[in-house]
Amino acid sequence: MAKKHEAEQSTQAEQVEQTEQTEAAAPAKKRGPQQKRAIDTTRAVLTTADVASLLGVSTTNVTVMAANKELPHMRVSQRVVRFPRAAILAWIERRTVDAN
């Protein structure tokens, strides 16, 4: 009975070691801010993700700014918000501070 228990422990130890080696060899998953994505310049309206990428902030920040009426937007449905491209570009221009 003791030999069987020792064999089980030995097998478990080997499995743990093998798992650790596999995890160490696997590339680490990247975490952090979303990668910037290309914005389609032909569209008249932008998504929350488009505006977030353009401003360099999170989609949550864009959603909160729209809810607080800090960003020009239009509500397509109860859950869908879009941002007119021209209005967003004008908003950015108004908020830009000259270096002079």
Task: Report the helix count and the strand count for the chain, using DSSP H and E.
Answer: 4, 3
Residue 42 banded pLDDT, cuts 50, 70, 90: confident
pLDDT at 100: 72
- E-strand ranges in the chain read 45-46, 74-75, 81-84
pLDDT digit string (tens) for 22-41? Answer: 555 555 555 455 555 677 76
pLDDT digit string (tens) for 71-100? Answer: 999 999 999 999 999 999 999 999 999 887
Predicted TM-score (pTM) of the model is 0.59
